[in-house]
Structure 1
Protein backbone atom coordinates (compact mmCIF):
# COMPACT_ATOMS: atom_id res chain seq x y z
CA UNK A 1 0.00 0.00 0.00
CA UNK A 2 1.33 3.51 -0.80
CA UNK A 3 3.17 5.38 1.92
CA UNK A 4 1.19 7.12 4.65
CA UNK A 5 1.70 10.78 5.57
CA UNK A 6 1.19 11.79 9.22
CA UNK A 7 0.24 15.43 9.82
CA UNK A 8 -0.32 17.76 12.78
CA UNK A 9 -1.13 21.44 13.22
CA UNK A 10 -1.37 24.14 15.87
CA UNK A 11 -4.54 26.17 16.35
CA UNK A 12 -4.32 29.52 14.54
CA UNK A 13 -6.71 32.19 13.18
CA UNK A 14 -8.56 30.86 10.14
CA UNK A 15 -8.59 33.15 7.09
CA UNK A 16 -11.17 35.93 7.55
CA UNK A 17 -13.37 33.96 9.94
CA UNK A 18 -12.08 35.43 13.21
CA UNK A 19 -12.02 31.89 14.63
CA UNK A 20 -9.20 29.66 15.81
CA UNK A 21 -8.73 26.39 13.94
CA UNK A 22 -6.23 23.56 13.75
CA UNK A 23 -7.24 22.70 10.18
CA UNK A 24 -3.86 23.77 8.72
CA UNK A 25 -1.77 20.64 9.17
CA UNK A 26 1.69 19.75 7.86
CA UNK A 27 3.66 16.48 7.70
CA UNK A 28 5.63 15.51 10.80
CA UNK A 29 9.38 15.00 10.56
CA UNK A 30 10.02 12.98 13.73
CA UNK A 31 8.46 10.31 15.92
CA UNK A 32 5.70 11.44 18.27
CA UNK A 33 3.19 10.05 20.73
CA UNK A 34 -0.33 9.08 19.74
CA UNK A 35 -2.65 8.82 22.75
CA UNK A 36 -6.40 8.69 23.29
CA UNK A 37 -6.80 12.41 22.51
CA UNK A 38 -4.69 12.36 19.34
CA UNK A 39 -1.20 13.13 18.14
CA UNK A 40 1.23 15.09 20.30
CA UNK A 41 1.42 18.68 19.07
CA UNK A 42 -1.90 18.52 17.21
CA UNK A 43 -4.44 21.13 18.29
CA UNK A 44 -8.10 21.99 17.73
CA UNK A 45 -9.60 25.45 17.88
CA UNK A 46 -13.08 24.22 18.86
CA UNK A 47 -13.01 21.34 21.31
CA UNK A 48 -16.80 21.16 21.44
CA UNK A 49 -17.07 19.93 17.85
CA UNK A 50 -13.56 18.64 17.09
CA UNK A 51 -11.09 16.33 18.76
CA UNK A 52 -11.75 14.09 21.75
CA UNK A 53 -11.43 10.30 22.06
CA UNK A 54 -13.89 9.44 19.27
CA UNK A 55 -12.25 11.92 16.88
CA UNK A 56 -8.66 11.46 17.94
CA UNK A 57 -7.28 10.99 14.40
CA UNK A 58 -8.75 12.21 11.11
CA UNK A 59 -8.01 10.31 7.88
CA UNK A 60 -8.70 11.73 4.42
CA UNK A 61 -8.14 9.78 1.21
CA UNK A 62 -5.46 11.30 -0.99
CA UNK A 63 -7.32 9.61 -3.86
CA UNK A 64 -10.00 12.33 -3.68
CA UNK A 65 -7.69 15.26 -4.41
CA UNK A 66 -7.84 14.77 -8.19
CA UNK A 67 -11.65 14.83 -8.13
CA UNK A 68 -11.64 18.07 -6.14
CA UNK A 69 -9.13 19.66 -8.50
CA UNK A 70 -11.41 18.76 -11.41
CA UNK A 71 -14.46 20.21 -9.65
CA UNK A 72 -13.20 23.40 -7.98
CA UNK A 73 -9.91 24.06 -9.77
CA UNK A 74 -6.25 23.48 -9.04
CA UNK A 75 -6.23 25.53 -5.83
CA UNK A 76 -2.92 25.91 -3.96
CA UNK A 77 -4.40 24.24 -0.86
CA UNK A 78 -4.78 21.02 -2.87
CA UNK A 79 -1.11 20.89 -3.82
CA UNK A 80 -0.11 18.80 -0.79
CA UNK A 81 -1.68 16.55 1.86
CA UNK A 82 -3.47 18.35 4.69
CA UNK A 83 -6.01 20.37 2.69
CA UNK A 84 -8.92 18.91 4.66
CA UNK A 85 -7.29 19.10 8.07
CA UNK A 86 -6.42 15.42 8.04
CA UNK A 87 -3.90 13.73 10.32
CA UNK A 88 -3.44 10.76 7.99
CA UNK A 89 -3.23 10.94 4.19
CA UNK A 90 -2.77 7.97 1.90
CA UNK A 91 -3.67 6.64 -1.53
CA UNK A 92 -5.49 3.31 -1.65
CA UNK A 93 -8.03 3.64 1.17
CA UNK A 94 -11.38 5.37 0.67
CA UNK A 95 -14.75 5.44 2.40
CA UNK A 96 -15.78 2.36 0.40
CA UNK A 97 -12.79 0.36 1.65
CA UNK A 98 -12.93 1.19 5.36
CA UNK A 99 -15.63 0.07 7.81
CA UNK A 100 -16.49 1.30 11.28
CA UNK A 101 -14.79 -0.91 13.84
CA UNK A 102 -11.79 -1.69 11.61
CA UNK A 103 -8.66 -1.94 13.76
CA UNK A 104 -5.29 -0.87 12.37
CA UNK A 105 -1.74 -1.01 13.69
CA UNK A 106 0.07 2.31 13.20
CA UNK A 107 3.60 2.24 14.56
CA UNK A 108 3.29 1.14 18.18
CA UNK A 109 -0.34 2.27 18.43
CA UNK A 110 -3.64 0.53 17.73
CA UNK A 111 -6.44 2.65 16.25
CA UNK A 112 -10.05 1.84 15.39
CA UNK A 113 -12.40 3.50 12.88
CA UNK A 114 -15.10 5.24 14.95
CA UNK A 115 -17.27 7.32 12.56
CA UNK A 116 -17.32 9.34 9.38
CA UNK A 117 -16.34 12.99 9.28
CA UNK A 118 -19.12 15.58 9.41
CA UNK A 119 -17.87 18.47 7.26
CA UNK A 120 -17.74 21.81 9.04
CA UNK A 121 -18.06 25.43 7.87
CA UNK A 122 -14.33 25.98 8.36
CA UNK A 123 -13.75 24.15 5.08
CA UNK A 124 -15.46 27.08 3.33
CA UNK A 125 -12.79 29.46 4.64
CA UNK A 126 -9.96 27.00 4.15
CA UNK A 127 -10.74 26.64 0.44
CA UNK A 128 -12.24 30.05 -0.24
CA UNK A 129 -15.29 28.23 -1.65
CA UNK A 130 -18.48 29.39 0.08
CA UNK A 131 -20.23 25.99 -0.03
CA UNK A 132 -17.22 23.70 0.31
CA UNK A 133 -18.54 21.96 3.44
CA UNK A 134 -21.81 21.19 1.68
CA UNK A 135 -19.94 19.93 -1.38
CA UNK A 136 -17.89 17.57 0.78
CA UNK A 137 -20.99 16.29 2.54
CA UNK A 138 -22.92 15.76 -0.69
CA UNK A 139 -19.99 14.03 -2.42
CA UNK A 140 -19.51 11.31 0.20
CA UNK A 141 -15.79 12.12 0.10
CA UNK A 142 -15.86 13.04 3.77
CA UNK A 143 -13.02 11.17 5.43
CA UNK A 144 -13.30 9.34 8.74
CA UNK A 145 -12.09 9.29 12.34
CA UNK A 146 -10.28 6.83 14.57
CA UNK A 147 -10.31 6.26 18.31
CA UNK A 148 -7.07 5.09 19.91
CA UNK A 149 -7.26 1.64 21.51
CA UNK A 150 -3.58 1.41 22.43
CA UNK A 151 -1.41 4.55 22.69
CA UNK A 152 2.06 4.38 21.23
CA UNK A 153 4.81 6.09 19.28
CA UNK A 154 4.23 6.72 15.58
CA UNK A 155 6.71 8.09 13.07
CA UNK A 156 7.16 9.12 9.43
CA UNK A 157 7.49 5.96 7.37
CA UNK A 158 5.02 3.97 9.48
CA UNK A 159 2.21 2.28 7.58
CA UNK A 160 -1.32 1.24 8.46
CA UNK A 161 -1.80 -2.51 8.89
CA UNK A 162 -5.34 -3.90 9.15
CA UNK A 163 -5.60 -6.14 12.22
CA UNK A 164 -9.33 -6.90 12.48
CA UNK A 165 -12.69 -6.18 10.80
CA UNK A 166 -15.61 -6.22 13.23
CA UNK A 167 -18.46 -4.82 11.09
CA UNK A 168 -17.34 -5.17 7.46
CA UNK A 169 -20.82 -4.46 6.07
CA UNK A 170 -20.83 -1.01 7.66
CA UNK A 171 -18.40 0.89 5.49
CA UNK A 172 -17.97 4.64 5.93
CA UNK A 173 -19.69 4.99 2.56
CA UNK A 174 -22.75 3.12 3.85
CA UNK A 175 -22.84 5.22 7.02
CA UNK A 176 -22.70 8.36 4.87
CA UNK A 177 -25.62 7.06 2.78
CA UNK A 178 -27.77 6.58 5.88
CA UNK A 179 -26.75 9.90 7.43
CA UNK A 180 -27.12 12.10 4.34
CA UNK A 181 -29.03 10.29 1.57
CA UNK A 182 -31.56 7.65 2.70
CA UNK A 183 -31.95 9.44 6.00
CA UNK A 184 -35.09 7.77 7.40
CA UNK A 185 -34.44 4.16 6.39
CA UNK A 186 -35.72 2.53 9.57
CA UNK A 187 -34.02 -0.81 8.94
CA UNK A 188 -30.58 0.76 8.58
CA UNK A 189 -31.17 3.26 11.38
CA UNK A 190 -32.08 0.44 13.78
CA UNK A 191 -28.88 -1.41 12.90
CA UNK A 192 -26.86 1.78 13.18
CA UNK A 193 -28.30 2.60 16.62
CA UNK A 194 -27.25 -0.85 17.86
CA UNK A 195 -23.77 -0.81 16.31
CA UNK A 196 -21.61 -0.64 19.42
CA UNK A 197 -18.34 0.06 17.56
CA UNK A 198 -19.90 3.22 16.09
CA UNK A 199 -19.28 6.46 17.99
CA UNK A 200 -22.02 7.21 20.51
CA UNK A 201 -22.92 10.52 18.84
CA UNK A 202 -23.79 8.82 15.56
CA UNK A 203 -25.74 6.06 17.30
CA UNK A 204 -27.68 8.82 19.06
CA UNK A 205 -28.52 10.43 15.71
CA UNK A 206 -29.93 7.11 14.51
CA UNK A 207 -31.96 6.56 17.68
CA UNK A 208 -33.43 10.09 17.54
CA UNK A 209 -34.51 9.65 13.93
CA UNK A 210 -36.14 6.32 14.74
CA UNK A 211 -37.99 7.87 17.66
CA UNK A 212 -39.08 11.11 15.96
CA UNK A 213 -39.32 10.23 12.27
CA UNK A 214 -37.43 13.46 11.56
CA UNK A 215 -33.91 14.47 10.51
CA UNK A 216 -31.56 17.01 12.12
CA UNK A 217 -30.96 20.42 10.57
CA UNK A 218 -27.46 21.82 10.11
CA UNK A 219 -27.33 22.75 13.81
CA UNK A 220 -28.00 19.16 14.87
CA UNK A 221 -31.59 19.93 15.90
CA UNK A 222 -34.52 17.92 14.60
CA UNK A 223 -36.08 19.67 11.62
CA UNK A 224 -39.19 21.55 12.63
CA UNK A 225 -38.09 21.94 16.29
CA UNK A 226 -37.45 25.30 17.93
Structure 2
Protein backbone atom coordinates (compact mmCIF):
# COMPACT_ATOMS: atom_id res chain seq x y z
CA UNK A 1 0.00 0.00 0.00
CA UNK A 2 1.48 3.38 -1.00
CA UNK A 3 1.96 5.66 2.00
CA UNK A 4 3.46 8.93 3.17
CA UNK A 5 6.55 7.68 4.96
CA UNK A 6 7.22 11.13 6.38
CA UNK A 7 5.90 14.68 6.14
CA UNK A 8 8.79 17.17 6.04
CA UNK A 9 9.03 20.93 6.46
CA UNK A 10 11.63 23.65 6.98
CA UNK A 11 10.49 25.70 9.94
CA UNK A 12 13.03 28.39 9.07
CA UNK A 13 15.46 29.20 6.30
CA UNK A 14 19.21 28.87 6.79
CA UNK A 15 21.77 31.43 5.51
CA UNK A 16 24.13 29.97 2.90
CA UNK A 17 26.56 31.40 0.37
CA UNK A 18 25.59 29.06 -2.48
CA UNK A 19 21.95 30.18 -2.83
CA UNK A 20 20.93 33.06 -5.08
CA UNK A 21 18.87 34.62 -2.27
CA UNK A 22 21.55 34.00 0.37
CA UNK A 23 19.31 31.56 2.24
CA UNK A 24 17.46 28.31 1.61
CA UNK A 25 14.59 26.28 3.00
CA UNK A 26 15.81 23.04 1.41
CA UNK A 27 16.76 21.46 4.75
CA UNK A 28 13.37 19.91 5.57
CA UNK A 29 12.87 17.68 8.59
CA UNK A 30 10.17 15.12 9.40
CA UNK A 31 7.21 16.14 11.53
CA UNK A 32 4.30 14.00 12.68
CA UNK A 33 1.54 16.30 11.54
CA UNK A 34 -1.15 16.36 10.50
CA UNK A 35 -0.51 19.63 8.69
CA UNK A 36 -2.88 21.60 6.50
CA UNK A 37 -2.09 21.51 2.78
CA UNK A 38 -3.65 24.35 0.77
CA UNK A 39 -3.79 25.69 -2.81
CA UNK A 40 -1.36 28.51 -3.56
CA UNK A 41 -1.29 31.55 -5.84
CA UNK A 42 1.10 32.15 -8.75
CA UNK A 43 4.81 31.44 -8.47
CA UNK A 44 6.71 34.49 -7.32
CA UNK A 45 3.99 35.62 -4.95
CA UNK A 46 3.05 32.46 -3.03
CA UNK A 47 5.03 30.00 -0.96
CA UNK A 48 4.71 26.38 0.11
CA UNK A 49 1.33 24.70 0.20
CA UNK A 50 2.27 22.91 3.43
CA UNK A 51 1.49 24.79 6.64
CA UNK A 52 4.63 25.73 8.57
CA UNK A 53 6.99 25.10 5.65
CA UNK A 54 9.37 27.94 4.75
CA UNK A 55 10.69 28.87 1.30
CA UNK A 56 13.50 31.39 0.73
CA UNK A 57 13.35 31.79 -3.06
CA UNK A 58 9.77 32.43 -4.20
CA UNK A 59 10.96 33.09 -7.75
CA UNK A 60 11.86 29.44 -8.24
CA UNK A 61 9.95 27.53 -5.57
CA UNK A 62 6.42 27.39 -4.24
CA UNK A 63 3.32 28.76 -5.88
CA UNK A 64 0.37 26.96 -7.42
CA UNK A 65 2.18 24.29 -9.45
CA UNK A 66 4.96 23.70 -6.90
CA UNK A 67 2.90 23.79 -3.73
CA UNK A 68 4.12 20.37 -2.56
CA UNK A 69 7.25 18.40 -3.50
CA UNK A 70 7.43 14.63 -3.21
CA UNK A 71 10.30 12.17 -3.39
CA UNK A 72 10.25 8.39 -3.11
CA UNK A 73 12.16 6.67 -0.32
CA UNK A 74 13.10 4.03 -2.89
CA UNK A 75 14.91 6.72 -4.91
CA UNK A 76 16.60 8.11 -1.80
CA UNK A 77 17.84 4.58 -1.07
CA UNK A 78 19.17 4.33 -4.64
CA UNK A 79 21.06 7.61 -4.17
CA UNK A 80 22.41 6.43 -0.82
CA UNK A 81 24.03 3.49 -2.57
CA UNK A 82 25.33 5.69 -5.40
CA UNK A 83 26.76 8.40 -3.15
CA UNK A 84 27.82 6.26 -0.20
CA UNK A 85 26.13 8.59 2.30
CA UNK A 86 23.09 8.39 4.54
CA UNK A 87 20.10 10.41 3.33
CA UNK A 88 17.34 11.19 5.79
CA UNK A 89 13.73 11.75 4.78
CA UNK A 90 13.39 15.35 3.59
CA UNK A 91 17.05 15.74 2.63
CA UNK A 92 16.23 16.38 -1.02
CA UNK A 93 13.92 19.17 0.10
CA UNK A 94 10.79 17.07 -0.30
CA UNK A 95 7.64 17.68 1.71
CA UNK A 96 6.40 14.13 1.19
CA UNK A 97 8.74 11.16 1.39
CA UNK A 98 6.66 8.35 -0.09
CA UNK A 99 6.92 4.58 -0.13
CA UNK A 100 5.35 2.14 -2.55
CA UNK A 101 4.46 4.52 -5.39
CA UNK A 102 6.43 5.39 -8.54
CA UNK A 103 6.87 9.14 -8.86
CA UNK A 104 9.26 9.02 -11.81
CA UNK A 105 6.68 7.52 -14.14
CA UNK A 106 3.65 9.30 -12.70
CA UNK A 107 1.68 11.15 -15.37
CA UNK A 108 1.45 14.93 -15.40
CA UNK A 109 -2.11 15.60 -14.31
CA UNK A 110 -2.35 12.37 -12.30
CA UNK A 111 -4.32 12.95 -9.10
CA UNK A 112 -3.52 11.50 -5.70
CA UNK A 113 -5.69 11.45 -2.62
CA UNK A 114 -3.27 11.91 0.26
CA UNK A 115 -4.82 12.14 3.69
CA UNK A 116 -7.86 14.33 3.12
CA UNK A 117 -6.11 16.48 0.45
CA UNK A 118 -6.29 16.03 -3.32
CA UNK A 119 -2.97 16.61 -5.11
CA UNK A 120 -2.21 16.77 -8.84
CA UNK A 121 1.18 15.92 -10.37
CA UNK A 122 2.49 18.95 -12.26
CA UNK A 123 6.24 18.77 -12.92
CA UNK A 124 9.60 17.21 -12.05
CA UNK A 125 12.13 18.80 -9.78
CA UNK A 126 14.74 20.62 -11.88
CA UNK A 127 18.12 20.59 -10.07
CA UNK A 128 19.84 23.86 -9.22
CA UNK A 129 23.06 25.09 -7.63
CA UNK A 130 21.37 25.43 -4.22
CA UNK A 131 20.52 21.72 -4.30
CA UNK A 132 24.10 20.91 -5.29
CA UNK A 133 25.57 23.19 -2.64
CA UNK A 134 23.36 21.78 0.10
CA UNK A 135 24.41 18.21 -0.67
CA UNK A 136 28.05 19.16 -1.23
CA UNK A 137 28.20 17.13 -4.44
CA UNK A 138 30.32 18.35 -7.37
CA UNK A 139 28.65 17.90 -10.73
CA UNK A 140 25.35 17.25 -8.97
CA UNK A 141 23.08 19.07 -11.44
CA UNK A 142 24.31 16.93 -14.34
CA UNK A 143 24.33 13.74 -12.30
CA UNK A 144 20.81 14.26 -10.92
CA UNK A 145 19.52 15.04 -14.42
CA UNK A 146 21.11 11.96 -15.97
CA UNK A 147 19.74 9.67 -13.25
CA UNK A 148 16.18 10.63 -14.18
CA UNK A 149 14.77 10.29 -10.64
CA UNK A 150 13.56 13.86 -10.07
CA UNK A 151 10.59 13.39 -7.77
CA UNK A 152 7.32 15.20 -8.47
CA UNK A 153 5.80 18.57 -7.75
CA UNK A 154 2.08 18.84 -7.02
CA UNK A 155 -0.58 21.48 -6.94
CA UNK A 156 -3.33 21.25 -4.33
CA UNK A 157 -6.77 20.78 -5.88
CA UNK A 158 -8.54 20.24 -2.57
CA UNK A 159 -7.16 21.48 0.74
CA UNK A 160 -6.85 18.93 3.51
CA UNK A 161 -4.71 17.42 6.23
CA UNK A 162 -1.70 15.17 5.62
CA UNK A 163 0.32 13.23 8.20
CA UNK A 164 3.04 10.61 8.14
CA UNK A 165 1.51 7.18 7.63
CA UNK A 166 -1.36 8.45 5.45
CA UNK A 167 -2.34 6.21 2.55
CA UNK A 168 -1.84 7.45 -1.03
CA UNK A 169 -4.54 6.56 -3.55
CA UNK A 170 -4.30 7.38 -7.28
CA UNK A 171 -7.82 8.54 -8.13
CA UNK A 172 -7.29 9.77 -11.69
CA UNK A 173 -4.92 9.05 -14.57
CA UNK A 174 -5.09 11.36 -17.61
CA UNK A 175 -5.30 10.07 -21.17
CA UNK A 176 -1.75 10.84 -22.35
CA UNK A 177 1.75 9.47 -21.75
CA UNK A 178 3.59 12.58 -20.49
CA UNK A 179 5.43 11.40 -17.41
CA UNK A 180 7.48 13.25 -14.82
CA UNK A 181 10.64 11.72 -16.28
CA UNK A 182 9.73 12.74 -19.86
CA UNK A 183 9.04 16.28 -18.65
CA UNK A 184 12.53 16.47 -17.14
CA UNK A 185 14.15 15.34 -20.38
CA UNK A 186 12.05 17.80 -22.40
CA UNK A 187 13.13 20.87 -20.42
CA UNK A 188 16.78 19.90 -19.88
CA UNK A 189 18.15 17.52 -22.49
CA UNK A 190 15.67 16.75 -25.29
CA UNK A 191 14.02 19.98 -26.40
CA UNK A 192 12.30 18.18 -29.27
CA UNK A 193 9.97 16.68 -26.65
CA UNK A 194 8.74 20.09 -25.44
CA UNK A 195 5.59 20.22 -27.63
CA UNK A 196 4.50 16.91 -26.11
CA UNK A 197 4.11 18.62 -22.73
CA UNK A 198 1.08 20.53 -24.02
CA UNK A 199 -0.83 17.24 -24.04
CA UNK A 200 -1.01 17.53 -20.25
CA UNK A 201 -3.04 20.76 -20.41
CA UNK A 202 -3.17 23.18 -17.51
CA UNK A 203 -1.47 20.72 -15.16
CA UNK A 204 1.76 22.00 -16.76
CA UNK A 205 3.13 25.16 -15.06
CA UNK A 206 2.39 28.34 -17.07
CA UNK A 207 6.07 29.27 -17.39
CA UNK A 208 6.76 25.91 -19.05
CA UNK A 209 3.81 26.34 -21.44
CA UNK A 210 5.26 29.75 -22.34
CA UNK A 211 8.67 28.12 -22.94
CA UNK A 212 7.09 25.58 -25.28
CA UNK A 213 5.35 28.27 -27.33
CA UNK A 214 8.50 30.41 -27.44
CA UNK A 215 10.65 27.50 -28.56
CA UNK A 216 8.09 26.44 -31.18
CA UNK A 217 7.98 29.98 -32.59
CA UNK A 218 11.79 30.12 -32.79
CA UNK A 219 11.91 26.74 -34.57
CA UNK A 220 9.30 27.87 -37.11
CA UNK A 221 11.36 30.98 -37.93
CA UNK A 222 14.55 29.01 -38.55
Instruction: Give TM-score, length-normalised by structure 2.
Output: 0.85
Is residue 104–residue 151 contact of structure 2 (8 Å, CA) maintained in 1?
A: no
Aligned residue number for residue 8 of structure 2: 7
Mapped pair 1:17 → 2:46: no
Paired residues for 1:1-226 under 5 Å = 1-4=1-4, 5-17=6-18, 19-37=22-40, 38-74=49-85, 76=86, 78=87, 80-183=88-191, 185=192, 188-196=193-201, 197-213=203-219
Is residue 120–residue 133 contact of structure 1 (8 Å, CA) maintained in 2?
A: yes
Partner Cα separation in structure 1 for residue 176 and residue 73 of structure 2: 22
Following superposition, the deviation at residue 168 of structure 1 comes to 4.4
Structure 1: stretches of 5+ with no match in the other structure: 215-226
Listed one character per residue, the Cα deviations across residues 166-201 of structure 1 (whole Å, up to 9, x for unaligned) are 144111112122222322x2xx43332353122212
1:90–1:26 CA distance, 2 compared to 1 (3 A): same
Listed one character per residue, the Cα deviations across residues 2-50 of structure 1 (whole Å, up to 9, x for unaligned) are 4312111123225543721111111122322110131100010111111
SS of 2:93's equivalent in the other structure is coil
Following superposition, the deviation at residue 205 of structure 1 comes to 1.9
Instruction: Give TM-score, length-normalised by structure 1.
Output: 0.83
Is residue 65–residue 154 contact of structure 2 (8 Å, CA) maintained in 1?
A: yes
Following superposition, the deviation at residue 120 of structure 1 comes to 1.6
Is residue 138–residue 180 contact of structure 1 (8 Å, CA) maintained in 2?
A: no
Partner Cα separation in structure 2 for residue 174 and residue 30 of structure 1: 33
- Tell me which moved more, 188-197 or 198-207: 188-197
Partner Cα separation in structure 1 for residue 92 and residue 126 of structure 2: 12
